[in-house]
Structure 1
Amino acid sequence: MKVLLVQAYLGGHEAPVYPLGLACIAASIPEHEVTVYDPNTVAAPLDGLKEIIARCSPELVGVSLRNIDSTNKSEIVFYYQWVGSLLAIISSNCDAKIVLGGSGFSMFAKEIMEEHPAIDYGVYLEGESVFPLLLQHLAAPFKVPSLFYRQGGKICYSGDGQAVEINQAPPPAWDALACAPYLKGRDAIGVETKRGCALGCVYCIYGFLNGRKYRLKSPVRVVDEVEALVKKHKVTQFTFVDSIFNVPQAHAREICRELITRNISVTWSAWLNEHFFDHEFLTLLVEAGCRHIIFSPDGFSNGVLRILGKNLSMQDIVQSLLLVQRNTNREVELSYNFFMNPPGQSLANFFGMLFFCLLAKVTMKKRVHFEFSVMRIEPHTGLYRIALEEGVITKNQCLLNPTYYSNRRTQYLERMMKVLLSLRGKLSHANR
Structure 2
Amino acid sequence: MRILLVQTWLGRKQHPVLPVGLALIAGSLPSHEIRIEDLNLSGSPMDRLRSVLADYRPDCVGFSMRNADTTSYTDRYSYISRCLEQIELTSRSCPDAYIMAGGAGFSIFAEQIMGYSGHIHCGVTGHGELIVDKLVGERASGIFRGAEGVFLSPRLDLISVDSYMPFEKNLAVGVEVNRGCDRRCTYCSYSAISGESVRERPLEQIREDILYFSGKGSRHLFLIAPVLNNRKARGMEVASTIGHLNSGITWEAYHTALDFDSEYASSIFDSGCRAVSFSPDGGTAGQMRRTRKDYDPAILESAITAAVSSGIEVSVNIFPWDSAGGIPEMIRAFRNGTRWGRLAGSRLRRLRFSLIRRLPRTRFEPASVSRSGRIPMREFVRPSVPGMLLFRVMKRLYERDLIKT
Q: Does 1:417 align with 2:391?
A: yes
Q: Is 1:295 equivalent to 2:278 in the alignment?
A: yes
Which residue of structure 2 lines up, in the alignment, with residue 116 of structure 1?
Answer: 117
Q: Which runs of 5+ in 1 are unaligned?
A: 142-148, 150-155, 385-392
Residue 238 (structure 1) aligns with: 221
Residue 269 of structure 1 aligns with an amino acid whose one-letter code is: E
Provide the residue aligned with 2:196 in structure 1.
212
Letter in 2 for 1:399: S
- 2:173 is the alignment partner of 1:173: no
**1:71-90: per-residue Cα shift (whole Å, max 9, x none)?**
24642321112122101221
Q: Residue 300 of structure 2: which of 317, 333, 340 is its match?
A: 317
Cα pair distance change 1:425/1:260, threshold 3 Å: closer
Opposite residue 290 of structure 2, the aligned amino acid is I
Q: Secondary structure at the match of 1:3?
A: strand
Match of 1:381 in 2: 362
AA paired with 2:349?
V
Is 1:163 the counterpart of 2:148 in the alignment? Answer: yes
Q: Residues of 1 paired with 2:147 and 2:399: CA distance?
A: 47
Q: Distance in 1 between matches of 2:272 and 2:73?
A: 27
Offset of 1:298 from its aligned partner? 1.3
SS at match of 1:337: strand
5+ residue gaps in structure 2?
Answer: none
* 1:189 corresponding residue in structure 2: 173
Q: Give, in whole Å, the separation in 1 of the partners of 2:298 and 2:280.
A: 11
1:11-410 aligned within 5 A: 11-72=11-72, 74-95=74-95, 96-138=97-139, 141=140, 149=141, 156=142, 162-166=147-151, 169=152, 171-185=153-167, 186=169, 187-231=171-215, 233-325=216-308, 327-329=309-311, 332-362=312-342, 364-365=345-346, 367-384=348-365, 393=366, 399-401=368-370, 402=375, 403-408=378-383
Amino acid paired to 2:166? K
- Kept in 2: contact 1:361–1:368 (CA 8 A): no
- How much does 1:346 deviate? 4.0
Alpha-carbon distance in structure 2 between the residues aligned to 1:344 and 1:121: 41
Three-state SS of the structure 2 residue aligned to 1:47 is: helix
Which whole-Å CA distance do the structure 1 matches of 2:380 and 2:73 have between them? Answer: 13
Paired residue secondary structure (1:274): coil
- Judge which range, 316-325 or 271-280, deviates more: 316-325
Partners of 1:73 and 1:372 within 8 A in 2: no
Letter in 2 for 1:418: R
Instruction: Give % identity.
Output: 26
Change in 2 beyond 3 A, CA 1:131/1:118: same
Cα RMSD for the two superposed structures: 2.4
Superposed CA offset, 1:114-173 (max 9, x none): 2211111212322101211123222xx2xxxxxxx1xxxxxx45x65642212xx2x211
Aligned CA distance change for structure 1 residues 307 and 72 (closer, same or farther; 3 Å):
farther
TM-score by length of 1: 0.84
**Distance in 2 between residues matched to 1:299 and 1:208, nearest whole Å:** 21
> Structure 2: how far apart are the matches of 1:110 and 1:357?
37
CA distance in 1, matches of 2:394, 2:283: 18
2:390 is aligned with what amino acid?
M
Aligned partner of residue 364 in structure 2, secondary structure: helix
Looking at structure 2, the residues matched to 424 and 358 of structure 1 have their Cα atoms a distance apart, in angstroms, of 6
Question: 1: CA distance between counterparts of 2:28 and 2:331?
Answer: 50
3-state DSSP of counterpart to 2:184: coil
On the 8 A contact 2:320/2:333 being kept in 1, the answer is no
1:315 positional shift: 0.8
Give the residue type in structure 2 aligned to 1:189.
V
Which protein, 1 or 2, shows the higher relative CO under an 8 Å CA cutoff with sep ≥ 6? 2
Q: Work out the CA distance in 2 between the residues paired with 1:237 and 1:366.
A: 18
**Greater Cα offset, 71-80 or 116-125:** 71-80
Could you say what secondary structure the match of 1:184 adopts?
Answer: helix
